[in-house]
Amino acid sequence: MIRFLIGWPIFRVVAIPYHYGYSGYQNVPRKEPLLVVSNHISRKDPVGINLALRRPVRFMAKKEAFEWRNSIFECLMVRIFFAYPVDRERPGPDSIRRTIAYLENNECVGIFPEGTRHQDGKLHTFTNGAAYFAWKTGVKVLPVGITETKGKDYHINIGEPFRVPEIKGRPHKVLPEITKLMREKILDLLPPGCESMENEDADHE
């Protein structure tokens, strides 16, 4: 609670130019572990999701975000809002074990499956990391779609939680199917026209 009392005023100062809103709060389970998956358009996203869900969400964050010399705001936010570092170039077993431990402890973990921010309003290709944790732990997945229009309106749309289906097979065959499902759920929460060309081309191959 203390972190939210500190973080909310900071977020509002940064978000002064924006009309901040969210919808779908009724979809957020209160007392069970959640894997939160979302598109990623801004540095504000992890903080905005934490505030919209009103539950602490631990986001994987690139290790560079914890270095003060890169961005004071980003460094402050990742420390206040429960983030934990991961080496994006060489993610090790420690970050995997840590993520699973949080979920087994009834906490919320947030992942941006695109892997990085995209400010073009399109939903880009997903990696299979989030799918792995959903498949491995069996926790509910909460999809989130974020939009920002004309640099003024910043909106978080929270979808309905779901469990991934039990798909038998080896991970390299199963995970892409789960990733595709997650992506479809998030795309449904975004305005029409958010599909990126790279994924449209892949769907027609």
We report the CATH number of the domain holding residue 49 as: 3.40.1130.10
The answer to whether residue 15 is domain-embedded is no
Mean pLDDT score, 132-140 = 95
B/e letters for 117-131, b = 16+ CB within 10 Å, e = fewer, are ebeeebbbebebbbb
The answer to whether residue 145 is domain-embedded is yes
- Provide the token pair at 25: 């709060």
Residue 41 has pLDDT above 90, yes or no: yes
Residue 131 has pLDDT above 90, yes or no: yes
The answer to whether residue 3 is domain-embedded is no
Which domain covers residue 98, as residue numbers? 20-203
Q: Which residues contact 155 (CB under 8 A, 6 or more apart)?
A: 20, 21, 22, 23, 146, 147, 148, 149
Pick from 118, 140, 125: nearest CA to 29: 140
Pick from 23, 57, 18: nearest CA to 41: 18
CB count in 10 Å sphere of residue 145: 23
User: Under a CB-based contact definition with an 8 Å cutoff, are residues 153 and 18 in contact?
Assistant: yes
What does the pLDDT read at residue 173?
87
Mean pLDDT score, 22-31 = 94
The answer to whether residue 10 is domain-embedded is no
Q: What is the mean pLDDT of the chain?
A: 83
Mean pLDDT score, 63-79 = 65
* Residues 152-165 pLDDT 10s: 788 999 999 999 98
Chain centroid to CA 36:
5
What does the pLDDT read at residue 204?
44
Mean pLDDT score, 183-196 = 93
Residue 40 has pLDDT above 90, yes or no: yes
Please state the length of the chain. 205
The answer to whether residue 136 is domain-embedded is yes
The answer to whether residue 155 is domain-embedded is yes
Mean pLDDT score, 9-13 = 61
The answer to whether residue 5 is domain-embedded is no
The answer to whether residue 179 is domain-embedded is yes
Number of domain units in the chain:
1
What does the pLDDT read at residue 74?
65
